[in-house]
Amino acid sequence: MVENVVIIGSGPAAHTAAIYAARADLMPVLFEGFMAGGIAAGGQLTTTTDVENFPGFPEGIEGPDLMERMRKQSERFGTRIYSETVNSVDLSQRPFKFKTDEREGLAKTIIIATGATAKRDNVPGTGDKELWQKGVSACAVCDGALPMFRNKPLFVVGGGDSAMEEAHFLTKFASKVYIVHRRDELRASKIMQDRARANPKIEFLYSHKVVSVDGGNSVEQVRVEDLKSQEQKTFPAAGLFFAIGHVPNTGFLGGQIETDEQGYVITVPGTTQTNVPGVFAAGDCQDKKYRQAITAAGSGCMAALEAEHFLSSHH
C-alpha cells in the first residue's frame, strides 16, 4: 500500500498537519518518534510546564496537556499514529520510501515536522531532575514573563544574536540580566551587540563560564568562573537561560533534502515546499527565527494543504 501522506514528527506542526490531512480524507500516517532527538513524543512542549501564549487557553495550559489534546484531535479524524522513529528515507523517486525499526513503506508525499532540540550546557544544577524548568530554561520568549522572574536578576548563557535578543527581552521583566560568554568577544552581529550594550540592565561577563546553578525548588543563585583568573563568584539569581543554539532533527534525511549549514531544511519562502517535489517541511526543523508552537502549527497547516494540492495534481 502506498500512503498518501506520511508525517514525521509529533509537535504542533506534525499534529496540525495530521488534523488537516485527515479531515481532507487523506488518511495520514504519523510517526511520532520514540525519544527521537532526545525528546519524547509530543515534542518540545512536553519539556515545559505552563504555555501561556497559545491562543484559546486564556488561563494557560501545561505543555504535555496541550500536546495530548493535539494528539487526540489528530486521532479523532482518523490519523494512524505509530510511536516509532523514522530512521531513513529514500527520496530518489516517487513513491518515496521510509523506514523505522519496525516497518518500511511507501509514501506519495512526506511532511517533515521533526522539530529541533535546544542545546544546553552540562552545568551542575541545570539537569532535567534538577532545576530545569524551575528557573532554568532555553526559551526567554516562552518563559521570561513568568512571575518567578519579575524584578529578579537573571542569567543568559551565549554570545550570539539569540543571546543578545533573549537578554534584551528579559530586561522587560528582570531587575538585571547578566550575559555569560566564554570568550572575550561576542559572535553576535554589531547591531545586536550595540543594542545590548546600550541597555542599562544588561551586564556582560566576558571570559566567564557558569560553574553551577543552585536552589531548592527554584533557582536561587548562579556560580560563575572567570576563565582568565580562575576566580569564582556567586550571584543571587532567579533564572538562567541557555541561548546557545538549537540542533534541527534532520540527520535522518541523509542529505537528500537541501538544508542550510546548521541542518535546517530550506523551504521555498512563503511555502513549506522543499527542493524535492512532494516533500514538505514544517515547524522548527525549517524555522530558526520564530520557534513558537503557534508558528509551527501554522506551517503544519500549510504543509497539509500543499500536500493535498500536490496529490490532486500528481496522480
Q: Residue 4 carries which side chain, given as an amino acid letter?
A: N
C-alpha cell, 132: 530545569
Contacts of residue 146, defined as CB under 8 A and 6 or more positions apart, other chains included, come to 50
Q: Which residues bind ligand FAD (CB under 6 A)?
A: 8-14, 31-33, 36-37, 39, 41-45, 47-48, 51, 53-54, 85-86, 113-116, 118, 137-139, 142, 249, 252, 283-285, 291-294, 296
State how far the Cα of 251 lies from the Cα of 114, in Å rounded to an integer.
10
Q: Of residues 65, 143, 287, 301, which has the active-site annotation?
A: 143
Residue nearest to ligand FAD (CB): 115
Q: Of residues 90, 128, 139, 260, which has the active-site annotation?
A: 139
Question: Does 285 qualify as catalytic in the annotation?
Answer: no
User: Is the CB of 57 or the CB of 206 nearer to ligand FAD?
Assistant: 57
Q: Which residues pair with 104 in a beta bridge?
A: 99
Residue 217 CA to chain centroid, in angstroms?
25
Q: Is 303 helix (H, G, I), strand (E, B) or coil?
A: helix
CB of 100 to ligand FAD, least distance (A): 8
CB of 310 to ligand FAD, least distance (A): 20
Question: Does 260 qualify as catalytic in the annotation?
Answer: no
Question: Does 139 qualify as catalytic in the annotation?
Answer: yes
Per the CB < 8 A criterion, the answer to whether 111 and 299 are in contact is: no
CB of 282 to ligand FAD, least distance (A): 7
CB of 241 to ligand FAD, least distance (A): 10
**Cα torsion through 182, 247, 253, 259, rounded to 10:** -70
Give which of 160, 127, 161, 117 is closest to 240, Cα–Cα: 127
Q: Of residues 25, 65, 121, 142, which has the active-site annotation?
A: 142
In terms of C-beta density within 10 A (0-12 exposed, 13-18 middle, 19 or more buried), how is residue 231 classed? exposed
User: Is the CB of 14 or the CB of 21 nearer to ligand FAD?
Assistant: 14
User: Is the CB of 113 or the CB of 192 nearer to ligand FAD?
Assistant: 113
User: Is the CB of 41 or the CB of 244 nearer to ligand FAD?
Assistant: 41
C-alpha cell, 209: 563560564
CB of 39 to ligand FAD, least distance (A): 4
User: Is the CB of 77 or the CB of 82 nearer to ligand FAD?
Assistant: 82
State how far the Cα of 214 lies from the Cα of 193, in Å rounded to an integer.
29
User: Is the CB of 215 or the CB of 248 nearer to ligand FAD?
Assistant: 248
Per the CB < 8 A criterion, the answer to whether 242 and 235 are in contact is: no
C-alpha cell, 307: 500536500
Residues catalogued as catalytic: 139, 142-143
